[in-house]
Amino acid sequence: MNNLGTRYFRKTLKLLVKFKHTEHTFMIIMAIIIGIIGGYGAIVFRNLIKLFESIFFGSGAINLAYIEGLPWYVKLLVPAIGGLFVGPIIYFFAREAKGHGVPEVMEAIILKGGAIRPRVVIAKIIASAISIGTGGSVGREGPIVQIGSAAGSSLGQIIKVRGSQLRTLVACGAAAGIAGTFNAPIAGSIFALEILLGDFAITQFSPIVIASVTSTVISRYYLGNFPAFIVPKYELVSVYEFIPYTILGILAAIVALSFTNIVYKAEDLFDAISIPEWIKPAIGGLIIGGVGIYFPHIFGVGYETMDLALASKLSWSFLLLLIFLKIFATSVTIGSGGSGGIFAPSLFLGASLGGFVGTVTNMAYPELTANPGAYALVGMGAVAAATMHAPITSILILFELTNDYRIILPLMTAIILSVVIKMQIKKESIYTLKLIRKGLKLKKEYEPNVLSNIKIEKILKTDCIKVLPDTSFKKLFKLTKKTFHLNYFVVNENDKLLGILSPYKIRTMARTQGKDLKGAIAENLIIDDKTFFTPDETLDIVGVILNDLILDEIPIVNNENDKKVIGYISKTQIIYAYNREMMKKDMLRSVSGYINSSSKFKQLKMMDGEILCEVEVPGRYVGKDLSQLDLRHKYGIEVILIKQNFNQETNESEKVFVPNPEYKFAYGDRLLIVGSDEAVNKFNA
């Protein structure tokens, strides 16, 4: 039976490989497969959570009443025991499974073209299920996004798709996960496009929607066509309600900002504790258990508490308290190294905030305002949108949950207001902030200075003129006749920089002052003693400073402490480096201009019958270097330039460089190649 299953699996892979040459059909088939995987993944994940709840709490259908009836020591110790399991799984098996899940997927898309290790699926599904099943104050949406994305990525890597296709398959997995979890196919699709890819191109949109719909069909078949929350019918009672809804939007931005900041402060706090990483989730679990003894509402995903807020069954004072408790509990769970998402906690915070605002408003003006539950619903969307910087996703997911347009106007008002205010205060979302903290630059707001990618050490010259401080004016004047350098550097016996001399000034002084300069020495003729650079600085900084100086050559020292002169850099070198970088970029841009959106790859016919073209590196070559592939002899093509999507070592985005034999291709790399039409088609097949 195993051999039969293996044969069918191999036949399926071969069939998919054949379909790769008809890209649209291939991506549709892949989207359906990933949608099926995502749908079943969501079901398995939810059942695993119930399994661990039954193991640790004694029931797979726990609710607030059940937890409140448990002995205090059970509530205290179960989250800590869960942490003892989660820590080793993450630390020793797959560290990407730590934390939210969504930032790790975004990082894989940025750094690795969508490549995610297959083991992440197993680690994330088990670690997150234990975290949530033992009371960790996190959501299941982030994990299911990472699980679906990892599944899509793994399948794409097995079939060896291109980098652009792999990124789309990752997004298909994420959309399938969200759709299957929330029973919300539209929101699942928009989540993947708005947050993960930031691109609504039709080539990506179609397969993502198909994966999302497929997952939802499977989820509805097994779990029924029920929304994630019990949402009563709400409506806008009076136009005056826009005032409290506006206040709610402003407060939502403040709550989202506080939530984001405290989550990462908790991470920093736990990182500073000098104990083994795998033990920290247990410490976090113990803290959560201590809070949960008195307030079990903070345990797990918190859907039941949100339902109570939506049904207006909680007092304003308790709702206000829940905001602080949930921020604390989720921050401790994630900061200590637990595994789970922040989407459900942000909805929880929004429901508590909205319920608080709605209850207070309804108490003051009962005839002019809707039920407090309406405000809880709007608050859910506003806090989630401001936390994730995803207004479209939040609007759509709340609409799909209610299936009612009557609340859409205040919902849109509060969401847009909260996002705008939050982005004015902090530009990064809770997802992108994690990547920024790792040093990754995600988006360019303007055309970058190409010189910012070039370090001084790459182009500095070492044939500088160094003179001692007691060198006579006569010797300096003779030196100006023998050399063509534009500046000299005064150094002591250890080559430490003391200042800069100007040969032009020396010649001018010799002509105008003559005999009066017999006693002058180099130390007295220094024109600048503060300007220098080190080899690891970049040329954009040098260029800016040179514009404000009369110096043509600037000394380069080994470091700021020793200041030992090791060379110099000139304006001419900077201009040359700039022109060279721009020429490389222009070569790629000029090729790109000759294609349209439906072209399979970019090409430009040359005079000798060959073509110059830009292609994305085929998946079968990922991880291999040029020396291994020997493309010149195998295909008859020459690789001229490589455009790298992101350089992990230098944090440079869209780096263009001349290839070297040792460079290993990565997903997303684009190549500028020259060869015959036949050779290029063979290589790109």
pLDDT at residue 178, as a whole number: 84
Q: What is the pLDDT of residues 504-538, one digit of tens each?
A: 888 888 877 766 677 788 888 888 888 888 888 88
Domain boundaries, the chain: 11-223, 239-437, 452-575, 593-684
H/E element, 100: none
CA 222 and chain centroid, separation? 33
| Same fold yes or no, 11-223 and 452-575 | no
The Cα–Cα gap between 38 and 177 comes to 5
Quick check: 133 and 51 in contact, CB under 8 A?
yes
Q: What pLDDT shows up at residue 232?
A: 73
Determine the pLDDT at residue 593: 46
Is the domain defined by 593-684 classed in CATH 3.30.2350.10?
A: no
Asked if 270 and 338 touch (Cβ cutoff 8 Å), the reply is no
Q: Are 264 and 434 in contact (CB under 8 A)?
A: yes
**Residue 128: Cβ within 10 Å count:** 31
State the number of CA atoms in the 13 A half-sphere of 488 facing the CB: 27
Looking at residue 537, its pLDDT comes to 83
Query: Quick one: how far is CA 624 from the chain centroid?
Result: 26
List C-alpha distances in Å: 287 to 265, 299, 308, 393, 566: 16, 12, 25, 33, 55
Decide yes or no: CATH 1.25.40.20 for domain 239-437: no
Judge whether 49 and 140 are in contact, CB under 8 Å.
Answer: yes
Q: Which of 342, 201, 178, 198 is nearest to 260 (CA)?
A: 342
Question: Among residues 149, 117, 122, 115, which one has the least CA distance to residue 35?
Answer: 149
Query: Which tokens belong to 279?
Result: 């033990």
8 Å CB contact between 464 and 489: yes
Taking alpha carbons only, the member of 492, 137, 465 closest to residue 329 is 137
Lookup result for tokens 């100007």:
502
Q: Give me the residues of the chain with pLDDT under 50, please.
A: 1, 444-447, 591-601
CA distance 180 to 214: 9
d(CA 547, CA 493): 31
HEC secondary structure over 251-275 = HHHHHHHHHHHHHHHHHHHHHHCCC
SS3 at position 571: helix
Ramachandran bin of 616, using left for φ above 0, alpha for ψ from -120 to 50, beta for the remaining angles: beta
Give the architecture (CATH level 2) of 11-223. Answer: Orthogonal Bundle (1.10)
Q: Any idea which fold 452-575 has?
A: CBS-domain (3.10.580)
Q: 171 with 61: CB under 8 angstroms?
A: no
The answer to whether 98 and 143 have CB atoms below 8 angstroms apart is no
What is the chain's percent helix, strand, coil content, to nearest 5?
65, 10, 25
Q: Residue 664: how many CB atoms within 10 A of its CB?
A: 12
pTM score: 0.70
CA 256 to chain centre: 19
The pLDDT of residue 128: 87
Contacting residues for 644 by C-beta, under 8 A, at least 6 apart:
652, 654, 655, 656, 657, 666, 668, 669
In angstroms, what CA-CA distances link 526 with 70, 491, 497, 500, 560? 81, 11, 11, 5, 19
pLDDT number for residue 470? 87
